[in-house]
Each structure stands twice: as structure tokens, then as C-alpha cells.
A = this chain, B = another copy of it.
Amino acid sequence: MSMSDSAYSLFVQQQTDRGIDVEQVKARLKELKVETPSWGYGDSGTRFKVFKQVGVPRNPFEKLDDAAQVHRLTGICPSVALHIPWDKVDDYDQLQQHAASLNLTLGAINPNLFQDDDYIFGSLCNSNPAIRRRAVEHMLECIEIARTVNSSIISLWLADGTNYPGQDSIRGRKHRLLETLTEVYQALDPNMRLLIEYKFFEPAFYHTDLGDWGMAYNMALKLGDQAQVLVDTGHHAQGTNVEQIVAYLLDEQKLGGFHFNNRKYADDDLIVGSVNPYELFLIFYQILDAHADANKGIQQTAENIAYMIDQSHCIEPKIPAMIRSVLNVHTQYAKALLINLDEVKAAQEKQDVLGAENAVREAFEFDVTPLLHVVREEMGVPINPMRAYLESGYADSIKPRGKGGASW
């Protein structure tokens, strides 16, 4: 038996002894879908500098080419989020066919309400009705694109806000937002969802119109069932318990999805799981716990959660950074699947603080590498996707694209 085989059989024995059904774990690991963002393959940076990298895609088609590499190697990234107008093309059928040829589908459509000169004082919240109109039209255009490319998700990140006290009426902007979003919402097809993102600060520095989960949730509540909240893991104040918000939204059936990334201070958009992997694990724990309760008929919960990556690779090469991100998500999801939820609940019922904490943390301590190797083998992807990428020569093959590709 190879070391790898030994490691896996040991793992299976160990987990089986703990009451974990490894086959079920494997099934769920294979089902996980993580959408990568088209803009994660392009150049990005800070306000101080965008370091242009060689080989960055020059158009949406090349972004899909790169995303296809990530899916080919990880097996769990079959869809790609688009950002309009960054990914605007003349012929979306052609783009979709290109995606299909790469074994990809087109995912969430992300409108851009922050890069037009008109939006200097806001878009959907702007006091100027002509600019609100423009923003609504852009949203409607995005819904139309979603319809064309068979996407069912509109991800709304609203950068609106103000930089100074008094600059605009906070309540007035709230009313305008409800009005404009209502029109957008009514244009949705029945199969579509509007995922409303919130953000603590930046690019607005005094107040952000959708500044926290409560504001996004309240808006989604007023709009209806097709509106849900999108949690970007980097969009919270320091010290915020993100997994609590996740649990709360799950319980209200308003958790629409995630924008995964990581940060140390602000919205740093670093590789997910690179600064605080335990937080990502605890987020998955809340999701799995909610779903287990729903399966037992204890409590209803949000379903159909869209897992999406939203990062900005300033200094590291884009494709391997994306692969690393996807692997980190897979890893923490795998660890969370090893939590024996019955054991946790039993300790909780006894109010055994240390026992309950241990039952959760213990799963985090396992090395899931052998498990993921087997999962990947069974999915027909390389057991070590990063090494496979580095050895693939793909990075060299895209060098002719040169510097100065797509950026935001």
C-alpha cells in the first residue's frame, strides 16, 4: 500500500470510529461548487498602484480560458461570475458558447454602479433622478444579460455613500434606494435572485448606504423572496462575528450567498483562508449545522447558497492565487464536514462549554489532505491541483498576451 493509500485508509478508519460517514463526506465535497469571478483573473491593485502582470487576459473570452484552468484542475469551479461592463461583449451567445466549450457556465451577473463619472455622488441613491434612472437601466440591462446567458443571480454591490456629515440625506437616500430597487426587483424573472451585498466602508468613507447586514436584510425583506443577502467575508467591522451573521441569515432564509476572501484590517481582498482559516471553517459549521437541522425538520433554513470568490490579487499571479483560494475553501469545507454535529449538540445540551468547543475545534485539527486526494482522484482531477498547474506550462502559454490586460 502506498503512503497515500495508507493515509487515506487510516483517515477512513479514524473518522468512521468517530461516527463520520466518509462516503457522505466525499459526496458533499464533490458537490461543492465555487464560482470564480472573471475580474479575479485581471489586473487589480490598490489606490496607490496596480502592478500589471504578464499574461493577464485581454478580454472576457481569455478570462474564461483562465477560469477553465481552475475548473479543470479543481473540479469544483464550473461557473464564472461576470462583471458588466468589464465583461461586456457584442454577442453573449458567443461568450456562452465559449464557456460551454470550456466546460463552464456563466454565473452571477455583477452590475457596476461605481465607475462611471455620473456616480460620483451615488447611483441608485443619487439625489439626481436622471442618474438613478441610468443606474436602474444598467441593472435592467444586467438582468437582460442574465436572461441571455441563463444566469439566475444578480449580485448587487452598491458602492453608494457619502464622505462627509451632511453631504446628503441618509434617510432620503434610503427611500430612493428602495424605490429604485423595487423597479429592479420587479424586472426579475421568477427563477432569478437579487443578492444584496453590504459593506462597512470604502469607497464611501463617512456613511455607506448599505453599510451592514441589517440594512441589506431589511431591504431584501421589503423587496420579497427573490431578494437575499450576499455576505462578503471582508466587509465587516473589526471584531464582527461573521459566522453569527451567517447563522442569522440562514435562519431567516435570507442568506443568498458569499463573496469569499480574507483580510487583516479592511477589505483587503486577500486569498480566502490565508489570514484566518478558522473563521472560514466556522462559517461552514454554521451552514452545515443549519442544513442538518433543516433535514431533521427542526428549523427551516436558507438553501441554494451561492459560493463565490471575490478577490483582488495585487502582487501574486492570478491563476494560482485562484486555485489556492478554491483549495482553501475545499479544505475548510472538508474539515467542517468532519464535525460530529450530534456530539456538539449533546455537549450543548449538557451546557458543557469545553466539550462543545472541543467537538467543533477537533474537526479543524484533522488533516484532510488524504481525503481530498481521494475525492479529486474520483473526480478525475489532479490530486495536487497547484502542482499540476505549475507543471502544466499554462503560465508560459499565456505570456504572449503580454502586459496590460484587463483591469479595474
For A215, the chain B residues whose CB sits under 8 A away are 214, 248
Does any Cβ of B come within 8 Å of A83's Cβ? no
- Asked whether, in the complex, the Cβ of B167 is within 8 Å of the Cβ of A348, the reply is yes
Cα-based distance from A251 to B6 in the complex (angstroms) = 43
Selected A-B contacts with CB under 8 Å, 18 pairs: A46-B47, A48-B408, A49-B119, A127-B351, A167-B356, A168-B348, A169-B348, A171-B289, A200-B265, A201-B265, A202-B265, A205-B263, A205-B270, A215-B248, A237-B237, A238-B238, A365-B369, A367-B367
Contact with B along A269-296 (1 / 0, CB 8 A): 0110011111100100110011001000
User: Would you call B45 and A166 a contact (CB within 8 A)?
Assistant: no
Contact A299 B171 (CB under 8 A): yes
The answer for the CA separation of A22 and B357 in the assembled complex, in Å, is: 30
Closest 6 A-B residue pairs measured CB to CB?
A214-B214, A237-B237, A166-B360, A238-B238, A239-B265, A205-B268
Instruction: Tell me whether B167 and A353 are in contact (CB under 8 A).
Output: yes
Binding site for B on A (CB under 8 A): 3, 6-7, 10, 13-14, 44-49, 51-52, 114-115, 117, 119-121, 127-128, 159, 163-172, 174-175, 200-203, 205-208, 211-215, 217-218, 236-241, 243-244, 247-248, 250-252, 263-266, 268, 270-271, 274-279, 282, 285-286, 289-290, 293, 299, 312, 314-317, 320-321, 324, 331, 344-345, 347-349, 351, 353-354, 356-361, 364-367, 369, 386, 408
Q: Which residues of B contact A206 (CB under 8 A)?
A: 241, 264, 270, 275
**A317 touching B214, Cβ below 8 Å:** no
List chain B residues, Cβ under 8 A from A239. Answer: 200-201, 237-238, 264-265
Contacts of A167 in B (CB 8 A): 348, 353, 356-357
Besides A201-B266, A214-B214, A277-B364, 18 other A-B contacts (C-beta < 8 A): A7-B10, A46-B202, A48-B114, A49-B203, A51-B120, A163-B314, A163-B315, A165-B360, A201-B265, A202-B266, A206-B241, A214-B217, A217-B218, A237-B239, A238-B238, A274-B357, A277-B278, A365-B367
> Whole-angstrom distance between the alpha carbons of A169 and B301 in the complex?
14
Number of copies: 4
Decide: A320 near B241, CB < 8 A? Known: A117-B52, A165-B285, A212-B212.
no
A361 interface neighbour in B202, B274, B358, Cβ under 8 Å = B274
Q: Are B354 and A317 in contact (CB under 8 A)?
A: yes
Q: Which of B205, B312, B360 contacts A265 (CB 8 A)?
A: B205
B166, A285: Cβ atoms closer than 8 Å? yes
Q: Which of A317, A351, A386 has the most CB of B within 10 A?
A: A351
Question: Chain B residues with Cβ under 8 A from A238's Cβ?
Answer: 237-239, 265
Cβ of A359 and Cβ of B166 under 8 Å apart? Answer: yes
Which of B120, B169, B237, B250 is in CB contact (< 8 Å) with A171? B250
Closest residue of chain B to A335 (Cβ to Cβ) is B365
Given A165-B282, A212-B212, A239-B237, residue A353 in contact with residue B205 (CB < 8 A): no
Q: Residue on B with the closest CB to A214?
A: B214
**Which of A127, A270, A315, A369 has the most C-beta atoms of chain B within 10 angstroms of its own C-beta?**
A315
Asked, given contacts A47-B45, A264-B239, whether A10 binds B3 with beta carbons under 8 Å apart, the answer is yes
Cβ-closest chain B residue relative to A236: B237
A121/B315 in contact, CB under 8 A:
yes
Contact B248 A170 (CB under 8 A): yes
How long is the Cα–Cα vector from A357 to B164 in the complex, in angstroms?
6
A203 near B314: Cβ-Cβ < 8 Å: yes
Contact pick for A357, options B165, B207, B357, CB 8 Å: B165
Task: Tell whether, in the assembled complex, residue B315 and residue A244 are in contact, meaning their CB atoms are under 8 Å apart.
Answer: no
A3, A6, A357 — most chain B CB neighbours (10 Å): A357
Contacts of A358 in B (CB 8 A): 324, 386
